[in-house]
A and B are shown apart, each in its own frame.
Chain A
Amino acid sequence: MKVDLSVRLGSLQLKNPVLTASGTFGYGTEYGELLDVAALGGIVIKTITPRPRPGNPSPRIWETSGGMLNTIGLANVGVDAFITDKLPALRKIRTAIVVNIAGSTVEEYWEVVEKLDNEKGFDAYEINVSCPNVKDEGMAFGTNPKVTEKIVRGVRERTQRPIIPKLTPNVTSLSEIARACEAAGADALSMINTLVGMSIDVQSRQPRISTVTGGYSGPSIKPVALAKVFEAHKAVSIPLIGIGGISSAADALEFIIAGASAVQVGTATFIDPRTSLYIISGLEEYCENHDLSRISDLVGSIQLD
């Protein structure tokens, strides 16, 4: 039996439901010597901001029990250099390319879209609303439904491409934010971005990473991410992309069954760059063993009594 692994996220068609997560696959080409990137369902590019960002001081990462903390600080080349130096190589990769965007103000998100949208070589936007809003005491945009809706609506007005807000789990009601994005015209939702975490060196009593707290990711956050996907699946009707601790086909299947149409692999790529490829073949095998001709039939198929 030939299994159909393709999925649709609004108008975005993917050949299979496994993408690499923003910030864990660079600008798409770095891992090219180690795996066939065209076999991926898609690649989400590192967050791009209107201007280059050098990022946060070192130390930027710390390994935790079953996960890691990072405080990269959205270090990136900026949208202009992205267009001239990075996009040309992406045009040659035969898979969906999703550009993740962010800004320090609402208008900066729109600025990135305005600069990028006439360019060829990518298929969709992921909107990273987990970064600090300089006009709101550094609170993440994505914690405020009104601000999130404003960002998404503004992006919607500036592009025909599919738009996928990426939600932060560090909120009281994820459902509320998810509904705000749906109302503003989002095609799909990605979730989750990193949790807030910290670690202290008890000898020196100093924090392990330079900004004290940082983004917590990796296998140990999976249960939290899964619960968020399940929550959002009940709250909205647009497709979801599950992210958080996914490192095997079984992990990916949990997310799909909970309601995700696709998944992204982040930290697990650092552990083994080929993780996403193993997941793709594992999904195919699962479908064969369970007489499923299409992976999409599995989406949200959780059995509750």
Chain B
Amino acid sequence: MTQEKGSIHRIDRFRSSLFSLQIELPAIAETAVPGQFVHMKVEGVQHAILRRPLSIAGVNGNIIRLIVRIVGSGTERLAEYKVGQTSDFIGPLGSGFDIGDVETAYLIGGGIGDAPLLFLQDESKNRGIKTHLFVGSLSHDEFPLEDEEVKERGLVNCTDDGSFGFHGFVTAAFEEQMKRGVKGNTRAYTCGPVPMMKEAARLCKEYGIPLQVSLENRMGCGVGVCQGCATKLKDTGERGGFQLVCVDGPVFNAEEIDWSLF
């Protein structure tokens, strides 16, 4: 974990409310692994004080990539950042995905939840793992990746309204894949809205694939100090089942989670 000033190397707006950022962050880039996030200070947001947690969507040399959806004042301000502008970052934070030594990995992302999965796909491919990436959104205009990259990555793009790729939920596309048969040593990973992750967990259980889940919660410190991000995974154990998304997660094994508590 380090704190460093990062300079914006590139910023690309796409669709109506999405953008990707490339930021020069040498110390963070050096140790980052898929599943981790940065805690970013967004300067110039009136009255806002806390940092914003954002997943690392890729690393290229000194450069960290983020993919962001505009949802409020902080992300709105961030979208206006200019090349060369600097900001303060703490990272890399949290536990990463456990990639392991498998033949095939299934990555299931809903909306902006695709961000950590892109980095995971890159790293899995580097390790010679065959990846199937499924990403879903409401419509083409909400799709969290530009069309060219969708092609390059060979991912299965799904939209609820059928305006871009597979017509239906991302979990339905994943299920079709499952029905075609699952061979060898596999793992699955998911990040996105809770109902989607729940369904992914149900399918993975049915098909006997170990699943890792990346969770979100509001954050104060991002480093395990404030206990603000505590999320109840199961109603057991010393801490009453509470785990800190920022340091114990954001990645958890699906077996650790009791979905009825969400």
Q: Do A and B bind each other?
A: yes
Q: Which chain A residues have a beta carbon within 8 Å of chain B's beta carbons?
A: 23-26, 30-31, 33-34, 52, 54-55, 57-63, 65-68, 70, 72, 75, 218-219, 267, 269-274
Which of chain B's residues have a CB closer than 8 A to the CB of A273? 3, 90, 223
Decide if B47 touches A66 in the complex (CB within 8 Å): yes
Q: List B contacts of A267 (CB < 8 A).
A: 49, 220
Contact indicator A30/B227 (Cβ below 8 Å): no
13 A–B contacts from the bound complex (CB under 8 Å): A23-B226, A23-B227, A31-B223, A34-B2, A65-B47, A68-B220, A70-B220, A72-B227, A72-B228, A270-B51, A271-B50, A272-B88, A273-B90
Given A54-B239, A54-B240: A68 and B223 within 8 A (CB)? no
Tell me, rounded to whole Å, the shortest Cβ–Cβ distance linking A62 to chain B. Answer: 7
B69: Cβ under 8 A from any A Cβ:
no
Is the CB of B218 closer than 8 A to any CB of chain A? Answer: yes
Which residues of A have CB within 8 Å of B225? 24-26, 30-31, 269-270
Q: Are B51 and A58 in contact (CB under 8 A)?
A: no
Q: In this complex, what residue of A is CB-closest to B72?
A: A63
Residues of A within 8 A of B1 (CB): 33-34
B238 touches A70 (CB 8 A): no
Which residue, A55, A62, A63, A70, has most C-beta atoms of chain B within 10 A? A63
When the two chains form their complex, are residues A61 and B51 in contact, meaning their CB atoms are under 8 A apart?
A: no
> Which chain A residues lie closer than 8 Å to B241 at the CB level?
54
Contacts of B14 in A (CB 8 A): none
Query: Could you list 5 further interchain pairs (A-B, Cβ under 8 angstroms) beyond the known A65-B47, A272-B88?
Result: A30-B225, A33-B1, A58-B217, A218-B49, A270-B226
Q: Which of B88, B219, B225 has the most CB of A within 10 A?
A: B225
Query: How many angstroms between the C-alpha atoms of A269 and B49 in the bound complex?
Result: 11
With A34-B1, A273-B90 known as contacts, the answer to whether A63 contacts B226 (CB < 8 A) is no
> Are B224 and A30 closer than 8 Å at their CB atoms?
yes
Q: Is the CB of A75 within 8 A of B238?
A: no
Contact between chains at B226 and A24 (CB < 8 Å): yes
Given A61-B220, A271-B41, do A219 and B49 touch, yes or no (CB 8 Å)? yes
Q: Report the Cα distance A55→B3, complex, angstroms.
A: 29
User: Cβ of A65: which chain B residues have Cβ within 8 Å of it?
Assistant: 47
> Counting CB contacts under 8 A, is B242 at the interface?
yes
| With A33-B2, A34-B90, A70-B226: A58-B49 Cβ-Cβ less than 8 Å | no
Given contacts A60-B230, A75-B242, A272-B88, contact A26 B224 (CB under 8 A): yes
Let me know if A270 and B221 touch, CB within 8 A: yes
Which residues of chain A are within 8 angstroms of B2 by Cβ–Cβ distance? 33-34
Report B-chain residues with C-beta under 8 Å of the C-beta of A52: 238-239
Pair B223/A63 contact, Cβ less than 8 Å: no
